[in-house]
């Protein structure tokens, strides 16, 4: 509705070039083995699905998963169709395809919802920071932002007084609600997790999270634990 050939075909400006691809993530190093990947990748999917903000990119993991699915599909066609083993492999292939598709859709949904804030975060990050957007996602977010601005300019802003034609998308679009409560399961025991900071009325509130325990907590308090794999969103 608001796209144009000029906007979609033109590359990002020189000052907003997508950052270089991130190094091989720890998660990929842990389960690039196909059997381990098929077991552990759904955990990354659930984290992305239930986290209110966009988690760091795992493009290398996605690439390996797509290669794994391609190999599974080729092996399936080389077998005997109709055999119980082939049927089980087909079901597993469809399951992993669903997980991968849902994972990518969750990320695109968040990029479309929070693109001004994600672009600002990406541009301010240093080489040591974990990137939230892959290079392709960064280009998509840039194009989406340009198309949104172009749409509002054509439909509304050009009809307004000159002083009111400026559009600041970072103030117009709400940021992710990291104060939202999420369910989680603890994978590794954590000591003295800060739940509430100290105020004039109360001291800081810290708790220990026991392994395999389940909690309902504010995402802001456990966001670093999601990133390092210490907890799993459920």
Strands (DSSP E) contained in the chain are 181-186, 190-196, 205-209, 214-218, 231-233
Taking alpha carbons only, the member of 212, 223, 230, 213 closest to residue 182 is 223
Looking at 40-54, 79-93, 202-216, which range is the least confident one? 79-93
Token digits for 231? 């907890």
Token digits for 146? 């340009």
Question: Using one digit for the tens of pLDDT, what is the confidence trace for 89-118?
Answer: 889 889 999 999 999 999 999 999 999 999
Q: Which CATH architecture has domain 5-175?
A: Up-down Bundle (1.20)
For residues 206 and 193, is the Cβ–Cβ distance under 8 A?
A: yes
**Residues carrying CATH 1.20.58.1030, the chain:** 5-175
21: three-class secondary structure by DSSP: coil
142 burial type by CB count under 10 A (0-12 exposed, 13-18 middle, 19+ buried): buried
Token digits for 205? 């509130």
pLDDT at 14: 43
**Residues carrying CATH 3.40.5.60, the chain:** 177-234
pLDDT higher than 80, residue 11: no
CA dihedral sign, ordered 64, 182, 129, 110: positive
CA dihedral sign, ordered 23, 29, 34, 39: negative
Token digits for 18? 């997508």
pTM over 0.75: yes
Domain 177-234 CATH assignment equals 3.40.5.60: yes
For residues 219 and 179, is the Cβ–Cβ distance under 8 A?
A: yes
Nearest-angstrom CA–CA distance, 187 and 211:
5
Nearest-angstrom CA–CA distance, 20 and 25:
14
Nearest-angstrom CA–CA distance, 103 and 137:
13
Confidence of residue 6 (pLDDT cuts 50, 70, 90): very low
pLDDT higher than 50, residue 59: yes
Taking alpha carbons only, the member of 68, 72, 65 closest to residue 41 is 65
Question: Using one digit for the tens of pLDDT, what is the confidence trace for 170-223?
Answer: 888 999 999 999 999 999 999 999 988 878 788 888 999 999 999 999 999 999
């Amino acid at each position: 509705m608001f796209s144009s050939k000029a906007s979609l075909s033109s590359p990002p400006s020189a000052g907003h070039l997508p950052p270089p691809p991130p190094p091989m993530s720890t998660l990929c190093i842990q389960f690039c083995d196909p059997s381990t990947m098929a077991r552990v990748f759904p955990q990354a999917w659930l984290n992305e699905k239930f986290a209110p903000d966009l988690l760091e990119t795992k493009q290398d993991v996605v690439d390996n998963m797509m290669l794994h699915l391609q190999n599974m599909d080729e092996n399936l066609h080389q077998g005997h169709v109709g055999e119980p083993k082939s049927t089980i492999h087909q079901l597993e292939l469809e399951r992993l395809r669903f997980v991968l598709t849902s994972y990518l859709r969750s990320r695109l949904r968040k990029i479309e919802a929070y693109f001004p804030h994600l672009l600002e975060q990406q541009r301010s990050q240093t080489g040591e920071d974990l990137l939230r957007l892959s290079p392709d996602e960064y280009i998509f977010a840039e194009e989406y932002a340009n198309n949104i601005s172009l749409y509002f300019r054509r439909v509304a802003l050009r009809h307004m007084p000159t002083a009111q034609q400026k559009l600041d998308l970072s103030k117009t679009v709400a940021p992710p609600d990291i104060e939202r409560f999420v369910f989680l399961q603890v994978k590794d025991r954590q000591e003295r997790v800060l739940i509430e900071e100290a105020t004039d009325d109360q001291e800081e509130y810290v708790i220990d999270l026991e392994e395999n325990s389940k909690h309902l907590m504010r995402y802001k308090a456990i966001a670093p634990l999601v990133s390092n794999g210490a907890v799993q969103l459920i």
